[in-house]
Amino acid sequence: MTRLNVIGIHLYLQREDGRILLGRRHPDIAFAGDRFHFLAGHLETEGATAGLIREAEEEAGLVIAPEDLELVHTVHMLDAGADSDGQPRLQLVFRARTWSGTPEIREPDKCVEWTWADPAQLPEPMVAYTRAAIEAIGRGERYTELGWN
């Protein structure tokens, strides 16, 4: 059976001290409740950078210009976990070189806190592919495949 890939967009926001922005998802949300994850969303009828700019504003009140975004990692995954729909997903991770605003909780039904985490000591529990992407970015790798075995 052919299944189209869902495309997710993720923000890798890193301060000058090296810490990266992560959100703790609401415990009652459908995917990865109470786990730490990138600021993220799914594409609607829009380009990837436009979608991420929209999500950053909607979720955290951050303003990012399209020219300040750089694709730094891609995760292509087939999540076959117990709470998964088995949908193949392409996760695009963009770094913002600059931005304005301070992260605030704008969608409390989805995210209950923002934190600046040390990439070498990530908080737990963490979404598995988020951890994989952060670790790969740290090694300078641009692509990861998960769950296709």
CA dihedral 56, 142, 123, 23 (to 10 degrees): 10
| Rounded Cα gap, residues 137 and 90, in angstroms | 16
| Rounded Cα gap, residues 38 and 130, in angstroms | 7
Report whether 9 contacts 58 (CB < 8 A): no
Q: Where are the domains of the chain?
A: 6-146
Dump pLDDT digits (tens) for 7-57: 999 999 999 999 999 999 999 998 888 999 999 999 999 999 999 999 999
Q: Which residues of 96-126 are buried (b: 16+ CB within 10 A; e: fewer)?
A: beebeeebeeeeeebbeebeebebeebeeeb
Q: Which CATH architecture has domain 6-146?
A: Alpha-Beta Complex (3.90)
Burial class (CB in 10 A: 0-12, 13-18, 19+), 60: buried
Q: Is the pLDDT of residue 92 over 90?
A: yes
Q: Is the pLDDT of residue 82 over 50?
A: no
